[in-house]
Structures are given as structure tokens and as C-alpha cells.
Structure 1
Amino acid sequence: MNERMWAVDIEGNGKTPPEIVEIAIVELRGLERTGLRRNWRLRPPSGIAPMASRIHGIWDRDVADAPDLEDVADDILVWLEGAPIVGHNVRVELEVLGRALDEWSPASAYDTLKLARAMLPDAPKHGLEALGARLGLDVQAASETGSTAHSALYDATLSAILLKYLLQPLSAEERRRRLAEIDLLEPPPQGQLI
């Protein structure tokens, strides 16, 4: 399995529907992070709700001079083009990016939350940060991005680390089967109940 994938995370403005405040993309080849990554902070048209700012730490003043989504959409599309995406509760990224980038459609969308729930059913919590702490994941590597928990780059990096942790011990055939089960763009394999 040497497939190129992008771990993706988005932070929103806390409004409905959410607008993108930050997006991060981390490249994977197989299960290994290549070191290639990119993130953008954006100025959402309707500002950031204080509740959202308290979670991700990005306030209106932090993005006052940031570009609008339209200014960087082509760049984001170049990065995302043709590769599967990975994320923790990646359904959010699919919905927000699908609404924001009309031309975009990923090859697949692998959900590490769905994978963690299937492979770690007894875990008390399946949130990304809780799993990172419980499993002793290399949170330091996510921290070395220069960002903190709940920032897009940190969460995208930790999602990539979680994917590797859960899939690395499996055979290549079992990895393919597990990825097919957590691909939100494919119907579930025969006989599997969701």
C-alpha cells in the first residue's frame, strides 16, 4: 500500500453553515507522513463566533489580513486534486469543502473516527485528542507543526498518526478491507452493517 493520501482538517467560524477559517493538508505515502504539508488561514465573510474562537484559538483579528477563500481556492484544489483524503470525522471536511469548492471531489474519504470506533470499541472516548493521549500517539510530532490541539495543522497531523497506528499492524489485504469500510464515498462492503 503506497497510495498517496492527504490528511485534511478544517476549522470553521462556528456558524451555520460553517465557513472555513483554517484548512491544513498533510501528505501521506502509504501510512508515512512525507513532510509535505500546507495550511491556510482564511477570512470568513461573516466573521468568527467567539465560541469557535475559544476552541481553535483563531479570532477575527488573527485573520483580518488573511485572504478570502476565493483568493486561494485554486491553490487548495491543486493540493487536493485526485488523492483520497483522511480525517477524524472527515464527513465535516467533505461537507464544508464540497460546499466551498464546487469543482472538488476526492477519490475517497477515509474516516479515522469510524476506524477507531470499529477497532477500539472499548475506548471510553473516540475524540482525536482523547485517542492521542490514550494510545500514547506521537503528539509531539503534531506539536512540532508549531500549532496546538484544535488547530487544523495539528489535527490533520494527529489524524495521519492515528491512521498509521491503527493500520500498520495489519496485513496489506486487511488494510485495504479496513479502508474500504471507512470510505465515506463508497457503499459499505457486502454484509457489513453500519
Structure 2
Amino acid sequence: MVGGTAGGVDLEGTGAQDRDNEAILEIGVASLVDGRPEGAGAYHSIVNPERHVMHRPWSPPGLTNEKPALGPRLRQILSESAVWLDGTWIVGHTVSVDWRLPSMRCPAIRPAALIDTLKPARAVRTGERRDRLSALLTHFGLVEAPTAL
């Protein structure tokens, strides 16, 4: 990975209801140095799924059918994505769910490990009914407004 050995990853896909036809729509990776995002160390891409994407109630806001169609195809960004992900400690909330899709679509990319922040969220017991990442961040006072990387 460029600039670090850990990366925070977020991924949007068409949804598990598509089973073997699920496609990656968006991928974002931020290098983490000493547990904090490194400003210059970020990668993001919209991904063209090469097919119509059905909008569903849980679809990510702003990812209409038109936006992914403008992005590169997955095979066009595989080598660039591999630079960010291969051999990296991948950190994310429910990361095993997110990583299922890249492991299907990009089996050559092998992270060093998957670190799921859901487990500490459950251990902390923030008082919320669900163990959301936002509750964990609020509990630890990590609620800075996001800025562009």
C-alpha cells in the first residue's frame, strides 16, 4: 500500500440479493498511519458494473444508474486497486461482509488481514440497539467533520 501498512476501506456493491452477479459500484481506501487517515494516501473510484443497476431502498445515495456507468470497468482499475489493497491490513466496520465481494471479483488481491471494527463496537456497548460505526465513533469522541482527502 502506498504510504502505510493499514487501510480503511469502504465499498458499495449492487447488493447480496444479486448473488453471483453482485457487482462493485464504488471503492474507497484511505491509508492509515498511526491509526489516522493520511491526507495524501487515498484512493477512490466509481466502478462501471457493465449492466443496469436496480435502485433499491438500501441503495447508496447518489449512486444512481447513470453515475457508475461513467466510471471505469473493474478490470481497468484492478492493478491500481491492488497497489492499495494487496498485503494491507484492511480495517472496516463489518469488513468481512464488504470483503466478500472483492474476494469474489478480485481473487488475486490478498490483504494481510481483515480487522473488523464491529467487534469492538459490540464490546463497548454504546447503548444503541445496533452496533453502528457512528455510535462507536461518538463514544470515543471521534466525531470530527469529514474533510476531503
TM-score by length of 2: 0.82
* Partner in structure 1 of residue 122 of structure 2: 117
Normalized per residue, the structure richer in helix is 1
In structure 2, do the counterparts of structure 1 residues 140 and 98 end up closer, same or farther at CA, with 3 Å as the change threshold?
same
Gaps of 5+ in 2: none
Normalized per residue, the structure richer in strand is 2
* Partner in structure 1 of residue 35 of structure 2: 31
Gaps of 5+ in 1: 147-194
Give per-residue Cα distances to partners, 1:88-128, cap 9 Å, x unaligned: 0001222111011121111110000112112x125313112
* Partner in structure 2 of residue 8 of structure 1: 9
Q: CA deviation at 1:46?
A: 3.3
Q: Superposition RMSD on alpha carbons, in Å?
A: 2.2
In structure 2, do the counterparts of structure 1 residues 46 and 64 end up closer, same or farther at CA, with 3 Å as the change threshold?
closer
SS of 2:125 mapped into structure 1 = coil
Figure out how many residues of one structure are paired with residues of the other and give that number. Answer: 141
TM-score by length of 1: 0.65
Distance in 1 separating the partners of 2:143 and 2:9: 18
In structure 2, do the counterparts of structure 1 residues 52 and 99 end up closer, same or farther at CA, with 3 Å as the change threshold?
farther
In structure 2, do the counterparts of structure 1 residues 105 and 97 end up closer, same or farther at CA, with 3 Å as the change threshold?
same
